[in-house]
């Protein structure tokens, strides 16, 4: 095919796209007319992008590249402008000096400006030298630990996430007070984001185990202790100041006063084994000790306090312990009953010959979903760690055959997520608890995060609730189901009736719901759709998870954090080393923005290339 014929073919295909854009503009004119004035141009561009993507344009992109023309790969934020620019080039190459124009279309520069403006309105000011914001999920201890909140903000946290599924308004209020106090002290403007729990499908409680704690120091392969167990000793109402405690021993307040640094506590554990704890230091109203022995300690265990010098010894007793959290161990081929009756879960029971007397069973938090589930549908537990298939479905229970678990068996505990990715569940929207929590959220938060958004009706329900309190706070839509992904364009157009809004890619549930093999491309599509509407997105779930919890990152999560720079915000979950994770993410994001701008690859100057070498030293931050 000659070049002129190729140019004509490209021109004709672009004309088809433009014509379809007009059709969809007309079809959805009512929806476009209802969006907030700040989103009018963006809503049009979203429709244009959907028109563009309704065609299979792989061949068109190849033809454009072969002709040395822009291939439309970064068209999201300025669809009409880019298409008309290609048509103008083709016109000139075909000898027609016609410049294609259209009123009120978004240029590349205007597209970037709109996204920056919408991001600032939702997330506040960016950090110095960093485009992408950092959101951090606060632990419950942030209510009492002002210094931790101060450190997080000083390290680069731009918004603090408070999960309404945990704690209560009193605790949330204390967290917010600490955020406000740190903002004032550091002259920062960290935003408050509050997550509504939503209709979460989780496992119910397990049958309580013995009232016992297991002290377990770390050992090498030879059984030698490499790290003593860290023990928090305090009155029952005083929790550990951080998450570093390996075990907590409650002691009455009166007897606590007698425990001093350097004292030794000896005891006989439940196995009649002699053990001891060395008291290292005081912190607040409690004491920290270390133990080199593996030990099982029960309520009422006698502890002998050995004091320094001639003070003598003293007997103290372990206060009331909480029951050990029980679990069900599941293997491939096992059966599990998921039931609506709120009976405590327990493992399978066998007779003396090993014959099953009763299958493992556990309740769930939303038994109303049973009527929507069918035989043969898959079910996942605990972020996909356990996979099963529904063998029998009724309104009272589901009988599940376990298809995937660890070779040694997978533990299923209470309050673990349940996913039914192909079941058509008619459960969504706000729960009774959400509606109650909104009263606090509307008065105290900068942004509300709406969980499990499946369609535009969920968005409307939230907007109706917020209107009761005359609230105009920002909204972040958490996309974590297949249905939510499928309905994303209509969800956005509904949400764009208020301002500002954002989207959170809740990658944990979304990966299970959409399938592991599909998730990478689905994540990309969400980011593209958001960019076409100039709506900021949040890259969430398990970012630098190992670093935050264990203090050392994995190679794969460093790569994941680097890719997260394409989003407007990255969310970190809580962990013992969360300060370290924030600082590391700050450095990664600042460095990577020199190499990537949204999906667009940047090519900064490399040093030493004249000497057949390359250096990244100039990119140090």
Percent of the chain as helix, strand, coil, to the nearest 5: 40, 25, 40
How confident is residue 621, by pLDDT bands cut at 50, 70 and 90? low
Taking each helix axis from N to C end, the angle separating 40-53 and 79-93, rounded to the nearest 10 degrees, works out to 60
Q: Where on the phi/psi map is residue 531: left (φ > 0), alpha (ψ -120 to 50), or beta?
A: alpha
The predicted-structure confidence for 330-382, as pLDDT tens digits, reads as follows 999 999 999 999 899 999 998 888 888 899 999 999 999 999 999 999 999 99
Structure tokens at 488: 């994303």
What's the pLDDT score for residue 244?
81
Residue 390 CB contacts under 8 Å (≥ 6 apart), including other chains: 373, 374, 375, 376, 377, 378, 379, 398, 399, 400
The predicted-structure confidence for 155-189, as pLDDT tens digits, reads as follows 999 999 999 999 999 999 999 999 999 999 999 99
The predicted-structure confidence for 55-112, as pLDDT tens digits, reads as follows 988 889 999 999 899 999 999 999 999 999 999 999 999 888 888 888 888 999 999 9
Q: What is the mean pLDDT of the chain?
A: 92
- CA separation for the pair 47, 40 (Å, rounded): 11
- Same topology, domains 115-197+433-596 and 328-419? Answer is no
What's the pLDDT score for residue 618?
61
DSSP bridge pairs for 302: 317
328-419 is a CATH 3.40.50.2300 domain: no
What's the pLDDT score for residue 1?
57
115-197+433-596 is a CATH 3.20.20.60 domain: yes
What's the pLDDT score for residue 410?
95
Domain ranges of the chain: 3-106, 115-197+433-596, 212-317, 328-419
Q: Are residues 476 and 462 in contact, defined by beta-carbon separation less than 8 angstroms? A: no
- CA separation for the pair 427, 437 (Å, rounded): 19
Residues of the chain above pLDDT 70, percent: 98
What's the pLDDT score for residue 589?
95
Assigned CATH for 212-317: 2.40.33
pTM score:
0.86
Residue 79 to residues 73, 76, 91, 118, 406, Cα–Cα distance (Å): 11, 6, 18, 19, 48
Which is higher by pLDDT, 254 or 145? 145
Judging by DSSP bridges, how do beta strands 159-163 and 133-137 pair with one another?
Answer: parallel
Residue 439 to residues 230, 394, 448, 468, 519, Cα–Cα distance (Å): 41, 37, 11, 9, 35
The SS3 call for residue 138 is: coil
Taking the CA of residue 484 as centre, how many other CA atoms within 13 Å lie in the half-sphere pointing to its CB?
Answer: 29
- CA separation for the pair 615, 2 (Å, rounded): 45
Mean pLDDT on 289-317: 83
What's the pLDDT score for residue 526?
97
**C-alpha closest to that of 489 among 456, 443, 460:** 456
CA 155 to chain centre: 20
- CA separation for the pair 90, 97 (Å, rounded): 10
């Amino acid at each position: 095919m000659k070049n002129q014929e190729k140019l004509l073919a490209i021109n004709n295909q672009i004309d088809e796209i433009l014509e379809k854009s007009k059709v969809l503009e007309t079809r959805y004119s009512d929806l476009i007319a209802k969006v907030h004035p700040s989103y009018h141009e963006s809503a049009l561009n979203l429709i244009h992008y959907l028109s563009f993507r309704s065609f299979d344009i792989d061949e068109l992109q190849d033809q454009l590249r072969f002709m040395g023309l822009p291939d439309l790969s970064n068209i999201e934020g300025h669809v009409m402008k880019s298409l008309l620019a290609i048509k103008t080039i083709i016109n000139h190459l075909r000898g027609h000096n016609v410049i294609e124009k259209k009123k009120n279309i978004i240029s590349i520069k205007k597209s970037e400006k709109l996204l920056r403006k919408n991001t600032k309105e939702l997330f506040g000011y960016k950090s110095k030298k960093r485009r992408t914001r950092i959101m951090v999920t606060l632990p419950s201890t942030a209510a009492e630990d002002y210094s931790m909140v101060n450190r997080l903000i000083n390290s680069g946290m731009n918004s603090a996430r408070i999960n309404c599924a945990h704690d209560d308004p009193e605790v949330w209020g204390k967290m917010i007070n600490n955020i406000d106090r740190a903002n004032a002290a550091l002259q920062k403007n960290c935003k408050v984001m509050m997550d509504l729990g939503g209709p979460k499908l989780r496992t119910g409680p397990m049958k309580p185990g013995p009232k016992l704690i297991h002290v377990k120091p770390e050992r090498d392969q030879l059984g030698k202790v490499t790290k003593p167990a860290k023990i928090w000793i305090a009155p029952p109402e005083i929790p550990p100041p951080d998450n570093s405690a390996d075990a907590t021993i409650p002691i009455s307040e009166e007897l606590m006063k007698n425990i001093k640094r350097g004292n030794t506590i000896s005891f006989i554990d439940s196995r009649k084994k002699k053990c001891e704890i060395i008291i290292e230091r005081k912190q607040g109203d409690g004491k920290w000790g270390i133990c080199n022995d593996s030990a099982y300690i029960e309520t009422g265990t006698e502890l002998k306090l050995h004091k320094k010098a001639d003070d003598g010894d003293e007997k103290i007793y372990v206060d009331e312990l909480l029951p050990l959290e029980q679990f069900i161990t599941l293997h491939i081929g096992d059966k599990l009953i998921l039931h609506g009756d709120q009976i405590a879960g327990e493992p399978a029971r066998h007779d003396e010959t090993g014959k099953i007397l009763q299958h493992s069973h556990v309740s769930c938090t939303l038994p109303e979903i049973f009527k929507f589930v069918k035989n043969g549908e898959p079910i996942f537990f605990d972020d996909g760690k356990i996979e099963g298939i529904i063998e029998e479905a009724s309104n009272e229970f589901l009988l599940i055959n376990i298809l995937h678990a660890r070779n040694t068996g997978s533990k299923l505990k209470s309050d673990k997520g349940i996913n039914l990715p192909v079941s058509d569940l008619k459960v969504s929207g706000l729960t009774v608890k959400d509606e109650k929590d909104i009263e606090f959220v509307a008065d105290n938060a900068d942004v509300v995060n709406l969980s499990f958004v499946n369609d535009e009706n969920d968005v409307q329900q939230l907007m109706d609730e917020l209107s009761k309190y005359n609230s105009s706070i920002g909204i972040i839509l958490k996309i974590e189901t297949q249905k939510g992904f499928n309905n994303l364009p209509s969800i956005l157009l509904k949400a764009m009736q208020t301002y500002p809004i954002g989207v959170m890619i809740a990658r944990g549930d979304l990966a299970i719901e959409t399938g592991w093999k599909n998730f990478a491309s689905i994540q990309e599509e969400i980011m593209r759709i958001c960019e076409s509407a100039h709506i900021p997105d949040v890259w969430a779930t398990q970012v630098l998870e190992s670093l935050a919890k264990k203090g050392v990152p994995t190679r794969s999560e460093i790569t994941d954090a680097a890719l997260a720079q394409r989003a407007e915000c990255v969310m970190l979950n809580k962990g013992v080393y969360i300060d370290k994770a924030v600082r590391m993410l700050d450095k990664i994001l600042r460095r990577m923005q020199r190499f990537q701008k949204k999906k667009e690859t940047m090519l900064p100057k490399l040093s030493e290339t004249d000497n057949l070498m390359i250096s990244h030293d100039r990119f140090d931050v």
